[in-house]
Amino acid sequence: MASEPPGTRQEIFLSPRTSPSLTLTAALLGFALIVLDASVVNVALPSIGAALGGGLSGLQWVVDAYTLSFAALMLSTGAFADRAGASRAYALGITVFTLASAGCGLAPSLPVLIVARVVQGVAAAVVLPASLALVRQAYTDPGRRARAVAVWTAGGSAAVALGPVVGGAVTTVWDWRGIFFVNVPLGLTALVLLVRAPSSQRRPAPLDLPGQLTAVVALTALAFAVIEG
């Protein structure tokens, strides 16, 4: 069998410190966080509007700023995770997401909140492919890997369903800022668990920058036309 050319396969390094179960927990926690933030805000919009104003269109941007930046950058963040290495990309994504969540919770005005939501979405776009790559790298046995990916997928699906419930509960017990502040300890927990993840080498991966820019412009223009039109 012919050997693979250099750079076509990502090398994975498993050390005695590597823990597949803790790696799965870290990846699942990050995945659940970014999925949860896509829907948890919806039930808090009335409270956000009462505190920061902005009208209906401004509040819609609080939701769409996250989902647009998340969706638009998915074209290239998988390649970025390959180039940086899954664990490095995940650490970067979770760190930025956690900081942006704190920024959302501290936002003194609606424009600041919207900008922080954009940063959250960018970070989430990095976390998603990196978290799946972490799971696949942590489990080398095909059967165990398939089960781990199934758990990862189920966790994300559960987060989608729980988003409105969590948002309503936190807003009632605390206030709208709480839906962002709860991300901070969870994000830090994911980073702590990441130290038990396997390390991987960076490998070349193409980045379609013109296509990425086109997607960002097109989706933003469409959202602007729908919200402000």
Lowest mean pLDDT of 74-88, 138-152, 212-226, name the range. Answer: 212-226
Whether residue 204 is predicted with pLDDT greater than 80 in this model: the reply is: no
Reported as a single tens digit per residue, the pLDDT across 102-111 is: 999 999 999 9
Query: Chain-wide mean pLDDT for the chain?
Result: 82
Whether residue 224 is predicted with pLDDT greater than 60 in this model: the reply is: no
pLDDT-derived band at 98 (thresholds 50, 70, 90) equals very high
pLDDT-derived band at 3 (thresholds 50, 70, 90) equals very low
Identify the pLDDT of residue 97.
97
Q: What is the pTM of this model?
A: 0.82
What average pLDDT does range 217-228 have in this prediction? 55
Identify the pLDDT of residue 211.
57
Question: Domains of the chain, with CATH numbers?
Answer: 18-199+206-228 (1.20.1250.20)
Highest mean pLDDT among 64-73, 87-96, 137-146: 87-96
Whether residue 33 is predicted with pLDDT greater than 90 in this model: the reply is: yes
List all residues 6 or more positions away from 179 whose beta carbon is below 8 Å from its beta carbon: 40, 41, 44, 166, 167, 170, 171
What average pLDDT does range 84-109 have in this prediction? 94
Give the Cα separation of 145 and 27 in Å (integer): 13
Whether residue 189 is predicted with pLDDT greater than 50 in this model: the reply is: yes
